[in-house]
Every structure is written in structure tokens, then in C-alpha cells.
Structure 1
Amino acid sequence: MSHPSLHLTARDFDAYAAEKATSKAYSRPRLEVKQRALAWARGVVARLAELGISVDVHGSDEHPSIRNKHRADCQWVFFWRDQAAREELDRLLDRGRSISDVIDDPSPYTRHAFLALRLSEGEVQVCFAVHPDAKVDVDNLRARLSASDDATGEPTSLAAELTSALHALPEQFSFGAGGGDRVDCSAATPEAITEMLRRAADGQVPLWIGWSVPRETAVEHADILDEQLEDALVALAPIYRLVAWSRENDRIALDHKLEGIEQERARAHAELEAENERWRSEQARARERSMEEARARGDERVEASLPARRPTLATLFKAASNAGAGRGEPRHTPKHAGEGGAPARRPQHAEAEQQAKGGAQPRSSAEPAQRAQRGPAGEPDAARVTLEPAKGGVIEKGSRVRVRRGPFGDKIGVVSELDGRGGARVLLGLLSTRLELDDLELVADSRERPALSTSHRKPLAPTPRRAR
């Protein structure tokens, strides 16, 4: 299966000229190169996966941005460790990195060892690079180079393994610090590599191992260059495996540090979660208190808006009894003058008899006032109706009684039932209650019957007879 080709041309190299690097007007041709390079890189990823190296592919920005210092003078295609491995190391690398460092260089490519394809105005190159900021990978490389036999002081197989991998590279490959003087990989020694690491750290440039192809050569051999560049990256894979840190290539016992970091991170997460849970519970309690207070205020407003309660029979009776008890004065029923306390009765036909004896006499001036007080004819005078205790009577069913004491004191009721045990059920208006007979006394109605002018009808006048 054929892979997409890179097929570099002179126009591709010209897109990265120095005078075009800061202009976004040339982003279009640079974008086309980037897209072709990323498509070509998929073939490299597949071949590295066959060797057991899992990598992700990323391309640098084709337009001026903060990641490239606002200069798009080259195009990078990075092959580096996958996202899970990067995040695992970033938690360790970010611990000693200040905010100013992040702002000054937000690019993450300097913190990890990587394989890369780089295209600039004058050349195209494939390389393995590790920046001094990639502390884990640099420390892992230093540990490999410094390993020696305690008895003889000679380098161990770890350093020899790295130098052997460098010697196995094609003779066009070299290594050096950044863009400075470079040495052929065939002449590499542990001491030479250590010296290059020192120069890279002093100049804050990456340690570079790779192959550079000039522009003219690349354009002339464009038909075979794609495959040659792919083979060169695969040839650098052993160098990447020996230098880049992994759990299988751990020369600095970083695995234990990562476990400690994970435990610390888990503990911090648990503390934060507990703090959040406490905050949520406090907020829930505060909401409940607020809702209760709001309900209480609402109930108060509703009660304030309701009209005053209307009096009931119970409250009326209680108020009357409390008022009488508070004054301490017995209630008296007015009595009409008469013998034995009985109300005086007016003869029923007094007026008729007087008219029969003495004839028609003018009525006194006080009589209309008396009639006005009595009210309409045939109705009893309300002022004359009194309730008096019955003398020597017996309380029976249907008797009218007065309550002597208790909450219904001085109330008048009707006996509806006698229980035979010294008590009676008394109807007091709408209420019915059981009271002791000792608390009851009979009352009788005393009223004066209204006087009638006469009980006889006047004879009708005879009808005059018609004359014949």
C-alpha cells in the first residue's frame, strides 16, 4: 500500500524564507507543506509501531504565533511519546516550572525527547533531539553515560549500548549541540556525548543527532527522498529508545517518584473533595434555614392580612362569664311589684267596665305613653317579661332552668334529659351540656297580659230599607 508522498519542491523551501517568516500572507503555502508532511508521517508512525515504539504526531504552527516566537521560518513534524506518557511526566516537570517560564515558552516540545522532520529555507533534516528542559530524559541519558564498573572503572554495557547504536547509523549522520559544530556519529564516545550535553545545557539548545539534506539535493532527488527520510527516522528509533525515559528504560528510579506523586495527588484530591463536600453540606443547611425563615415571614404576612376573628358562642359565653366573675357582682333580675313577688296583673276588661259604668270619658294624657311602652296590641311588653326562680318547683324534662355557677353561669336553658344520678342535660342555645341539679334552679316567665279594649264586637248598623 502506497503512502502519501512528501515530494518537496523549490516553492516549498521558498515559503520559509526569512523575509516571509513574520507575515501571515504566506501561511497558505506553508499550510500545504504541513498537510503533506503530516500525511507522510503516518507511514513513519506505522513503522515505529512495528518496532514497539508508540508515538504521537504533531506539527508546528504554519503561521506566526507565540509558540514559534512569531516567526514561521521552518516546519517541524514531531514524533514523541503518546499523550498518557506525556501527562505522566508533565505532572513532575511542571512542579519546578514558574509561570513566567510558561509564558515565555508555552511550547511543550522542549520538555520531551522526540524524533522529528524539519524543513527550512535551506535544508530538510531528520533528527533525534532532547532539550535541556526535558529534565527526565536528560537525567536518564546522563545516568546511562555515567554508569561504570566499580572494580575497573570502565564504562558498563549501558554506555556501550548507546555508542554502539550511534556507530550503527549511516555515515552521513552526525551529532552536536544545536546548530554548532557537529561530530560524525561514527566517532561518538561517552565522553564526547557528555561534552555535547554540557554545551547544550550552557546554550539552552537541544542535543541533536541526525541527517541534514541541502535544498538542492532534496529538490534534485525528490522522487526517492520521501523513502530515504522515512528510513532515516526508523534508523534513529534505537537512539530514541535508549535515551527517552520509559518504565522499561528507567535509569533514575523515577518510577518510585511517580508513584509518590500519584499518591500525593490522590491525597490532595481526596482532601479537596472532602472540603467540597463540607461546603456543599453547609450550603444545603443555609438554604434550608433561609427557606424556613422565608416560610415564617410568609405566614406572618398572611396572618397580618387576615381580618379579625369573628366571635363564636364559646368565646361569647366565656367572655360573659369572665366579665361577671371579674366584677364579683351577682346578676339581679328586676321584679315587678306585686304580692309574693308575683307581677301585678291589670284587669283584662278594666277599660270596658269603666266605659259601661260611666260612659265615654276622655282618656288621660298618660295613656298614649303607656300604649307606646306596651307596643302593638296583642304583643307582650318586653320590659315586663322577667325570669324568676320558681318557688318549691321540681326540675323535670322541659323545665326552664338557670345555671347558678360554672362557665355557663346565669345562662338560661331547657332540660332535655334527666340521667337519674343527680344530673341533667341542658340545652343552652346551640350547645348541650350535662350539669348537676344542684347547679340549676327553675325559672318561670312573669309577664303582664296586655289590656284589651273590649272582647265584644260592636253591632253593625242596620241597613236602611229602600222605599217602595
Structure 2
Amino acid sequence: MTHAPLHLTDSDFDAYAPEKSTSNAYSRPRLEVKQRALAWARGVITRLAELGITVDVHGSDEHPTLRNKKRVECQWVFFWRDAAAREELERLLDAGRSISAAIDDPSPYGRHAFLALRIASHGVEVCFAVHPEAKVDIDNLRARLAAKDAADGTGPTALAAELTAALRALPEQFAVGVGADRVAASAATPEAIEAMLERAAEGQVPLWIGWAVPREVALEHAEILDEQLEDALLALAPIYTLVAWSRQNDHIALDRRLEGIERERARTHAEASAQTEKWQAEQAAARERSLAEAKARGEAEGPRVSSLPFGFGARAGHGAPRKPSLDTLFKPSQKAEGDRDRRGGKPHEAKAPQAPAAPREREQTPAPPRVAPTPAASAPAPVASSNTSASAPTTMEKGARVRVLSGAFVDKIGIVGELDGRGGARVLLGLLSTRIEVTDLALVPEGRERPAIQSSHRRPTAPMPRKAR
């Protein structure tokens, strides 16, 4: 054995423990196992090719995905029919499959018979398996088992005997069964296999034929395990050849159905191509008619005189003015000469442009002398009117003007809003009102000419006069 070894260890089996199956933290060790298994599988492919069996190899996902239902409980390495054969069969397999079934089980491995290597936490196994969803392979197997002897119509034919002989040729460690219900492969009969297929269809589990190696045994014999697993897969190769459908192993006349499908596809493709060519021809004819009609309209209307100068959309020979040259550029036009002949005189000469008049100098007017501003006279002090005698209030009552003697509003002038009879007064201080003790208020004399509401504001001081420069 010259290919890469598998070399399974304790850590490899531990990576597929049930408690780690949904975690991405163990994707790295599982990926390493997958890479070693795929490298080991290349040697198996070479030996199968020597037997005339062409297969592709694929590995299951090492991290939780929809294909493994978000659980990585084992690592599969599949050996199944090549891509061309799978594509040929999937036209039939997908025809009767619902969208819900495809969403529920998006993995394609259940629709084909396959050989496989499986590594789980409890051990390693090699097997041949066929799922009930692999309808073509299941029907082919049923046809082989159901065939009767042509002589008396009771005994098995050579087809069924060929399968049972291949099962008896397997090593005694090999078993056949559905799920956990397994028997020795050498004891299997056509009737027992048919019963197993019925149980597989009811439980939607595959029919399994193979060899399972417990974890302890695999670790104890790790040095020879790689070669033993490879030989076991080669021993299952005849079972795969007899069960998996191929054109050489066709017991359900599927070859004729596939040929009919191919003919139908070719006919549909030819019809679509003919319709496409017809549409393209119609489009080309329509374009030709449109061009011919446009040309006919142009000839019927005649040449058009363009109003644009030469070189701006006008074409020579279609009413466009002649291109100017050195001979005609500085000569008077025919229209100007005709006008001169009709008037009997010379054409008006263009007046020479006059030079612009020199601008007149702006008259300098003497600026008026600047007069230094006189200091503003101070505002005269208001003279108290002789008839505004201040009347000093004598009692604290509602509406009286008062001055606050202490507190936060000291020296503020307010108006008494009301007296509470307990030695306090509500004083209005502009937009505010507060309760102040009467002992902290002093009456303010008020003149007749000043309104009471304005007496609470201080009089602004007169502005200082500005100094002259």
C-alpha cells in the first residue's frame, strides 16, 4: 500500500462524540480526519478502476450544515457512480420528488447506491448501502430478486443466485441488515433480502451490507487497519456491481426509457431552435421592409435644402451652400451686387469705427471743512413739577408700593397683592410673586403722574456723552 495512511487515533474518534456533534469548535479536528480519509480513498479508486468500476469520491461535511441536519455524528467517504451517470439518473429521480422532500433532505447521497467508509465515535466501518430514495437501484435489485427460473417458474434464476453467491463469498465478519437488525451475510437469501427491503422502505433507512470495526479493535490494530479497510471495500465491489443500475446491469428496461427521454429532449430542443430561427428571420425581414419604406419616402420627397451652414449637417449636392474659398471669401456676394445695380449707385460704405472719446476729467470739488463735534450737553436734570406733590402712604394695604428690606429681593420695588392677616404679604415683583413678612417691607411714596405698575422698575441712568475726536 503506497498511498497516504489513515492512522486513526483516539482524538479522531473523540471528534465525533454526540456532545460535540452540533459544535463548530471541533470542525478543525474533523477536517483533518476528512482530509486523511480522502487521501486514503485515492488508493481505493485506483484498485476499483482495475476491476472496471469507475466511481467518484466525495466526503460529507465536517461542520454542521443543512445536509447533515446540523449534526456531525460521523465522517462519510462515498464511492458512487460518476457525475455523468448521476446526471443521467437524476432526471428520473427528481421528476417525482416534491419540493418539501428536497428541502427536508437536500443531501444527494441517499438517491444512489454507494460504497462507503464511515468513521464515528464508537468505531469505523466499510459498507455497501442503498436507500429507499434510490428508486432506480432499488427497482433494479427487486427485479433481480423477483426473477424466477424459466424452467418451472418457482426457483431463483441465475440473477438472484449470482447475488446470493456474492454475499456468501464475503468474509464471515460481514453482515447484512436494516438498522440494528443484522444477520451474517453468508446466511442471506433472496427472500430475506426482499423482507429487508420492505422494512427499509417502512423506516426510510438504507439496506446495509458491510463490516463494522469497534473503536478498541481499530486502535489495537491501527498498523494494519488501513489495508484491511481497503481490502474490505474491494470485497464489496461485486455487490455494488450487481445491485447498482448501469447500462450493463439493466433489469428494468430503464435504458429504453432513458433513450425515450433523450429523444423527447432532442425534439423539444429542435422545436425551440426552429421557433427561434423563425423569429429571427421575421425580425430581419421587418427591418428590411422598414429600410425600403424609408428609402422610398426619401426619394418621393426629393432633396431638402438645409438651413445649416456647410459642415453642420448639410450634405454636398443637397441644397448646401458652396464651401468658401480664397477667391470668394473677400468678394461681394451676388445679392449685394444686385442691390447696387438696382439703386444705380455704389453700395453704402461702412463707416469706420470712431475712436472712443477721451473721458473727461472729473471736476474736483473741494471737500467741506470738517467741523469738530462739540461735546454734547448734559441732559438737564428733571425738574419736579410744582403740582406733583408726593403723597406718602401711611398704611400697608393692597396695591401699595413697597420696598423689600431683606432677603433675596432686597431693594426691589413691588406691589402688595394681598395681605394674609398673619403678618405677611404677597408682593408682586414684576413677573414674580412671593410672600414676604410685613416687617421686611417699607412703603414707597408715589406721585400722581406715575402709574403704579411702572414704579417697580428702576429708572435707567442717562448715557455719558461721547468724547469728540
Shift of 1:305: 6.5
Distance 2:264 2:199 in 1: 36
Pair 307,220 (structure 1): closer, same or farther in 2 beyond 3 Å: closer
Structure 2 SS opposite 1:95: coil
Which stretch has the larger CA shift, 87-96 or 203-212? 87-96
Matches within 5 A, 1:403-422: none
Matches within 5 A, 1:218-237: 218-237=218-237
Q: 1:273 maps to which residue?
A: 273
Q: CA offsets, 1:339-389, max 9 Å, x none?
A: xxxxxxxxxxxxxxxxxxxxxxxxxxxxxxxxxxxx99xxxxxxxxxxxxx
Pair 6,269 (structure 1): closer, same or farther in 2 beyond 3 Å: same
Distance 1:97 1:213 in 2: 36
Distance 1:196 1:294 in 2: 79
Q: 1:353 maps to which residue?
A: none
2:155 maps to 1:170: no
Q: 1:153 maps to which residue?
A: 154
Distance 1:104 1:296 in 2: 66
Shift of 1:208: 0.5
The one-letter code matched in structure 2 to 1:247 is R
Matches within 5 A, 1:132-147: 132-147=132-147
Structure 1 SS opposite 2:57: strand
Q: 1:335 maps to which residue?
A: none
Q: 1:190 maps to which residue?
A: 190
Shift of 1:86: 1.2
Q: 1:107 maps to which residue?
A: 107
- Larger-Rg structure: 1
Shift of 1:307: 6.5
Shift of 1:43: 0.7
Distance 1:298 1:75 in 2: 78
Distance 1:5 1:284 in 2: 66
The one-letter code matched in structure 1 to 2:172 is E
Pair 229,276 (structure 1): closer, same or farther in 2 beyond 3 Å: same
Matches within 5 A, 1:64-463: 64-150=64-150, 151-177=152-178, 179-282=179-282, 284=284, 306=307
Pair 257,298 (structure 1): closer, same or farther in 2 beyond 3 Å: same
The count of residues paired between Structure 1 and Structure 2 equals 311
Distance 1:297 1:30 in 2: 78
Distance 1:52 1:307 in 2: 83
Structure 1 SS opposite 2:232: helix
Distance 2:63 2:193 in 1: 35
The one-letter code matched in structure 1 to 2:115 is L
Shift of 1:279: 4.0
Root-mean-square deviation (Å) = 2.9
Q: 2:24 maps to which residue?
A: 24
Shift of 1:282: 4.8
Pair 291,129 (structure 1): closer, same or farther in 2 beyond 3 Å: farther
Pair 295,24 (structure 1): closer, same or farther in 2 beyond 3 Å: farther
Structure 2 SS opposite 1:66: coil
Structure 2 SS opposite 1:115: strand
TM-score for both structures, normalised by structure 2: 0.61
Q: 1:4 maps to which residue?
A: 4
Shift of 1:306: 2.6
Pair 293,209 (structure 1): closer, same or farther in 2 beyond 3 Å: farther
Shift of 1:180: 2.5
Shift of 1:142: 0.4
Q: 1:364 maps to which residue?
A: none
Distance 2:103 2:282 in 1: 38
Higher helix residue share: 1
Distance 2:279 2:39 in 1: 51
Structure 2 SS opposite 1:75: strand
Structure 2 SS opposite 1:248: coil
Q: 1:36 maps to which residue?
A: 36
Shift of 1:104: 2.1
Shift of 1:14: 1.1
Q: 1:449 maps to which residue?
A: none
Distance 2:140 2:281 in 1: 48
Shift of 1:227: 0.4
Distance 1:292 1:66 in 2: 62
Shift of 1:99: 2.5
The one-letter code matched in structure 2 to 1:114 is F
Q: 1:408 maps to which residue?
A: none
The one-letter code matched in structure 1 to 2:177 is G
Q: CA offsets, 1:275-295, max 9 Å, x none?
A: 333344455566678889999
Q: 2:47 maps to which residue?
A: 47
Pair 226,264 (structure 1): closer, same or farther in 2 beyond 3 Å: same
Structure 2 SS opposite 1:144: helix
Structure 2 SS opposite 1:119: strand
TM-score for both structures, normalised by structure 1: 0.61
Shift of 1:242: 0.7
Distance 1:292 1:99 in 2: 54
Distance 1:170 1:298 in 2: 93
The one-letter code matched in structure 1 to 2:168 is H
Pair 130,304 (structure 1): closer, same or farther in 2 beyond 3 Å: farther
**Percent of aligned pairs sharing the same letter:** 73
The one-letter code matched in structure 1 to 2:245 is W
Shift of 1:251: 0.9
Pair 281,190 (structure 1): closer, same or farther in 2 beyond 3 Å: same
Distance 1:257 1:96 in 2: 15
Pair 288,165 (structure 1): closer, same or farther in 2 beyond 3 Å: same
Pair 295,61 (structure 1): closer, same or farther in 2 beyond 3 Å: farther
